[in-house]
Structure 1
Amino acid sequence: MTTATTNPRVLAHPAREEIRLEGVLHALSDAVRLQIVRDMVRGEGQEFACSAFVLPVTKSTTTHHFRVLRESGVVRQLYRGTTKLNILRRDDLDALFPGLLDSILAATEAQSARLGEP
């Protein structure tokens, strides 16, 4: 894993070759984290502040979910000023696991339609 320097504003992320399928699947197995990724895909290519997401959990739990997504290689996080921004690592995920993210998102959409969820 790429390690953070002594600067707490630099966050550790796995390099592309360190991203593991089981870590990505674990990160996407949680409904809140999956919702975050779904929202990010809708605005693909954009940087999102953690506060941009309306989630049914506390701020500390939101922080945990973003850390899981970052450490699994699903998102990249960086600071811009005092704001922590999140970017979907779509290129890395598609290169390593072709079609995986699209399949998971399609299955999620189908499930939501079946259950009458937004």
Structure 2
Amino acid sequence: MTTTPTAVAAGGRDLPHPAREEIRLEDVLHALSDPLRLRIVRELAADGGALSCSHFDLPVTKSTTTHHFRVLRESGVIRQVYRGTTKRNALRREELDGLFPGLLDCLLAAAGRQAVRLGGS
């Protein structure tokens, strides 16, 4: 996947994100196929804003958490920007809804029903 540089974040640290026209359905579906990544996206969708990586209490190592966020970013599902030394994460809802109308809402609703059925959050 080709990524287009975004505006340089504070401190000169920039993270590559795919441009809207580069986001591919198969990459989005792959990113959301992992339960922890889907959990991250559900939390971001519920919040509606940008959350720091440390907000998420995931049962994996820091390096594995970093990997999950990278997969979500590189697929175009989230946007990550530095604010000082903190990475803030936001769902690219408007872009995803424009490219794949109804997909995100359908997946989030199904994930919520599954969580209830399996007794999770």
Task: Tell me if both proteins adopt one fold, taking TM over 0.5 as the criterion.
Answer: yes
Name the Cα RMSD after superposition. Answer: 1.7
CA distance in 2, matches of 1:4, 1:94: 20
Structure 1: gaps (5+ residues): none
CA distance in 1, matches of 2:24, 2:115: 27
Amino acid at match of 1:21: L
The one-character-per-residue Cα deviations of 1:3-58 (angstroms, maximum 9, x if unpaired) are: 379996101000000000000000000000000000001111x1111001011111
Q: TM-score, normalised by structure 1?
A: 0.93
User: Does the alignment pair 1:95 with 2:93?
Assistant: no
- Count of matched residue positions in the alignment of Structure 1 and Structure 2: 117
Q: Specify the alignment match of 2:61 in structure 1.
A: 58
Which of 106-115 and 65-74 deviates more?
A: 106-115
The structure 1 segments of at least 4 consecutive aligned residues displaced by more than 4 Å after TM superposition are 4-8
Q: TM-score, normalised by structure 2?
A: 0.91
Name the SS for the 2:58 alignment partner. coil
Structure 2: gaps (5+ residues): none
Using the aligned pairs only, state the percent identity: 65
